[in-house]
């Protein structure tokens, strides 16, 4: 009965926009362009496309297909393979939940900057450019000296976090019925703003010089493990797989709906957006190199440094309409993050809980939003940057995601087995996938994820403390992994009541 009444996407386009919205996030704008520049440009792009076709898209098909096959979110899908595997569906739920707790704090920063950009509060011209870093660390974050100094809550960020969670609640309160239409408008608006930023960037002095750095090609780098690590990790992190939510989104596809083509559209659409965003970022990098007379190494950055320091510097240095472009940039950043944040909340956490315990949507949504907000308060403190977007991110968005992804593909590949899933998705898809898919899921994806895990993770974080933090802070990474694993086993052992609707 539950299968007949399960919530559905109203239109296929709603699913595609929701899936694209979940995949396209902050990393497309602040991680991909710098990775391309620092890993050999065209050489990196080749490795990245290999990763998309061999890992990213097949992994998407696995998660959409599993959700659609079992008509359940991640835990229910693995319970469908066997009760002893249900824990494997809960582990990525914890990954999604914990990521969302600090991801929403980063969005609170973006909200703060939308307001600040209205007056270019960090200053105009070279004085503003020089003060952008101080404004971010000193005024916005009021950053403490290290993870051992939590300090006090920053009130503006706390208010921003509350606003973000209220927006998420409003978006997801009707499930797929509200997420679909909202995603359509969020994505169209975000792309429109991105186009404005690219056009503005390309018309700045020095833009072409920046693009030369973005796309310069060093083919010798293809022989380097670093480039493959960067490309494969970017593919693993950019498509929002390994975070439970894609199983739920796949389970809302109509019975006769496509899986394979939707996965290809999501993969290509996400990566095209990343590549396009690189033009906005590196045209501005070139502009700053010329206007401030500094080398590319001092301008190009990734992550929060790019969004909250480099871009504000560029906004200060623009020849006109500084506040307008500042607001457009941070609204774009906020929208890109929003569609990923409500994906993590609903697909990653709320839907699995509804499937498991039979709780109503409103009750579950209110509960998840309140608990995640409460945990997020920790990251609105002066030491929040260290604990949320850095240490916890390393624990769940790196180790948790890769471990659950690799084990999930092995279980789907060998235990389900994957040929059964392939036959199922081929029945209703626009085109069929061949036995090559089985090989990728059984061997290639797990091997690639384990390579990233060992090469970029264990080989660094076991002999050395992560990011130079004190060993006790770095060890929190292993603590989070162990605790979430134990909690996943406990949840997996509990009786499933089934979704009320």
Partner 1 sequence: MSIEAMVAAVVMWVVFIGGLSWCMSKWRGGGSEWEE
Helix (H, G, I), strand (E, B) or coil at 153: strand
What contacts 195, CB < 8 A, 6 or more positions away? none
Cα–Cα distance, 200 to 367 (Å, whole number)? 43
Any idea what DSSP says for residue 244?
S
Indicate whether 292 belongs to the interface with partner 1 (CB under 8 A): no
The binder of partner 1 chosen from 2, 12, 151, 324 (CB under 8 A): 12
Contact by Cβ (8 Å): 178, 168: no
Indicate whether 13 belongs to the interface with partner 1 (CB under 8 A): yes
Other Cβ atoms closer than 10 A to 324: 15
Cα–Cα distance, 246 to 77 (Å, whole number)? 11
Q: How far is the CB of 15 from partner 1 (least distance, A)?
A: 11
Structure token digits, residue 172: 């997801």
**To which residue do tokens 């693009």 refer?**
211
Q: How far is the CB of 60 from partner 1 (least distance, A)?
A: 13
Indicate whether 271 belongs to the interface with partner 1 (CB under 8 A): yes
Structure token digits, residue 15: 């699913």
**Nearest-CA neighbor of 273 among 442, 471, 26?**
26
Q: Which residue, 424 or 455, is less far from partner 1 as judged by CB? A: 424
Indicate whether 275 belongs to the interface with partner 1 (CB under 8 A): yes
The binder of partner 1 chosen from 26, 132, 179, 265 (CB under 8 A): 265
Tell me the CA distances in angstroms from 191 to 121, 169, 187, 268, 333, one per residue in order.
Answer: 26, 23, 6, 15, 11
Q: Which residue, 212 or 220, is less far from partner 1 as judged by CB? A: 212
The binder of partner 1 chosen from 430, 447, 479, 494 (CB under 8 A): 430
Q: Which of residues 240-259 bind partner 1 (CB under 8 A)?
A: 254, 258
Other Cβ atoms closer than 10 A to 188: 12
Q: How far is the CB of 225 from partner 1 (least distance, A)?
A: 22
Stretch that binds partner 1, among 10-18, 97-105, 288-296, 302-310 (CB under 8 A): 10-18
Q: How far is the CB of 41 from partner 1 (least distance, A)?
A: 6
Stretch that binds partner 1, among 7-15, 18-26, 223-231, 412-420 (CB under 8 A): 7-15
Indicate whether 192 belongs to the interface with partner 1 (CB under 8 A): no
Indicate whether 272 belongs to the interface with partner 1 (CB under 8 A): yes
Stretch that binds partner 1, among 210-218, 238-246, 360-368, 480-488 (CB under 8 A): 210-218
Q: How far is the CB of 490 from partner 1 (least distance, A)?
A: 41
Number of residues interacting with partner 1: please give it, by CB under 8 A.
Answer: 26
Indicate whether 220 belongs to the interface with partner 1 (CB under 8 A): no
Give residue 224's Cα distance to chain centre. Answer: 26
Q: Which alpha helices (H) appear in 31-85, and where do they start and end? A: 32-38, 42-51, 57-70, 74-81
The binder of partner 1 chosen from 139, 144, 261, 290 (CB under 8 A): 261
Cα–Cα distance, 260 to 140 (Å, whole number)? 44
Indicate whether 269 belongs to the interface with partner 1 (CB under 8 A): yes
Indicate whether 4 belongs to the interface with partner 1 (CB under 8 A): no
**To which residue do tokens 């403190």 refer?**
381
Give residue 85's Cα distance to chain centre. Answer: 25
Q: How far is the CB of 254 from partner 1 (least distance, A)?
A: 7
The binder of partner 1 chosen from 133, 215, 324, 439 (CB under 8 A): 215
Tell me the CA distances in angstroms from 56 to 212, 257, 345, one per residue in order.
Answer: 28, 21, 22
Indicate whether 50 belongs to the interface with partner 1 (CB under 8 A): no
Q: How far is the CB of 275 from partner 1 (least distance, A)?
A: 6
Looking at the DSSP bridge assignments, the partners of residue 196 are none
Indicate whether 35 belongs to the interface with partner 1 (CB under 8 A): no
Q: How far is the CB of 465 from partner 1 (least distance, A)?
A: 38
Q: How far is the CB of 274 from partner 1 (least distance, A)?
A: 10
**To which residue do tokens 């974080």 refer?**
461
Give residue 172's Cα distance to chain centre. Answer: 18
For partner 1, the binding residues (CB under 8 A) are 11-13, 41-42, 45, 49, 208, 211-212, 214-217, 254, 258, 261, 264-265, 268-269, 271-272, 275, 430-431
């Amino acid at each position: 009965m539950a299968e007949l009444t399960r919530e559905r996407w109203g239109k296929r386009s709603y699913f595609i926009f929701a899936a694209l919205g979940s995949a396209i996030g902050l990393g497309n704008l602040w991680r991909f362009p710098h990775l391309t520049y620092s890993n050999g440009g065209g050489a990196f792009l080749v490795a990245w496309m290999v990763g998309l076709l061999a890992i990213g898209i097949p992994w998407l098909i696995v998660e959409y297909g599993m959700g659609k096959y079992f008509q359940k979110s991640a835990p229910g899908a693995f319970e469908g393979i066997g009760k002893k595997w249900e824990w494997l569906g809960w582990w990525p739920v914890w990954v999604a939940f914990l990521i969302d707790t600090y991801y929403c704090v980063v969005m609170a920063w973006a909200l703060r900057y939308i307001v600040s950009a209205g007056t270019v509060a960090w200053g105009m011209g070279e004085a503003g450019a020089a003060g952008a870093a101080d404004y971010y660390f000193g005024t916005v974050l009021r950053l403490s000296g290290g993870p051992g100094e939590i300090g006090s809550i920053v009130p503006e960020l706390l208010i921003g976090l509350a606003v973000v969670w209220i927006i998420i609640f409003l978006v997801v309160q009707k499930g797929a019925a509200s997420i679909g239409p909202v995603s359509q408008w969020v994505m169209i608006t975000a792309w429109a703003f991105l186009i404005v930023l690219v056009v503005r960037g390309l018309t700045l002095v020095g833009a072409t010089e920046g693009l030369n750095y973005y796309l310069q090609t060093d083919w010798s780098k293809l022989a380097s493990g670093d480039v493959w690590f960067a490309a494969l990790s970017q593919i693993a992190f950019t498509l929002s797989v390994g975070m439970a939510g894609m199983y739920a989104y796949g389970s809302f596809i109509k019975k006769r709906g496509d899986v394979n083509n939707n996965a290809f559209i999501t993969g290509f659409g996400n990566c095209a957006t990343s590549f396009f965003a690189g033009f906005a970022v590196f045209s501005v990098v070139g502009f700053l190199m010329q206007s401030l007379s500094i080398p590319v190494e001092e301008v190009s950055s990734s992550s929060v440094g790019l969004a909250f320091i480099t871009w504000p510097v560029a906004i200060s240095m623009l020849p006109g309409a500084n506040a307008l472009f500042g607001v457009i940039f941070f609204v774009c950043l906020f929208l890109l993050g929003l569609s990923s944040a409500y994906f993590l909340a609903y697909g990653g956490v709320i839907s699995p809980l509804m499937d498991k315990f039979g709780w109503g949507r409103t009750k579950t949504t209110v509960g998840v939003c309140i608990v995640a907000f409460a945990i997020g308060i920790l990251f609105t403190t002066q030491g929040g940057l260290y604990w949320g977007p850095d240490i916890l991110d390393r624990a769940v968005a790196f180790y948790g995601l890769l471990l659950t992804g690799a084990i999930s593909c092995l279980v789907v590949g060998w235990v389900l087995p994957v040929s059964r899933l392939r036959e199922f998705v081929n029945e209703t898809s626009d085109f069929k996938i061949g036995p090559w898919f089985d090989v990728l899921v059984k061997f290639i994806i797990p091997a690639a994820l384990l390579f990233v895990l060992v090469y970029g993770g264990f080989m660094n974080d076991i002999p050395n403390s992560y990011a130079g933090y004190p060993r006790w802070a770095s060890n929190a990474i292993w603590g989070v992994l162990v605790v979430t694993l134990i909690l996943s086993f406990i949840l997996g052992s509990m009786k499933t009541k089934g979704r009320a609707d």
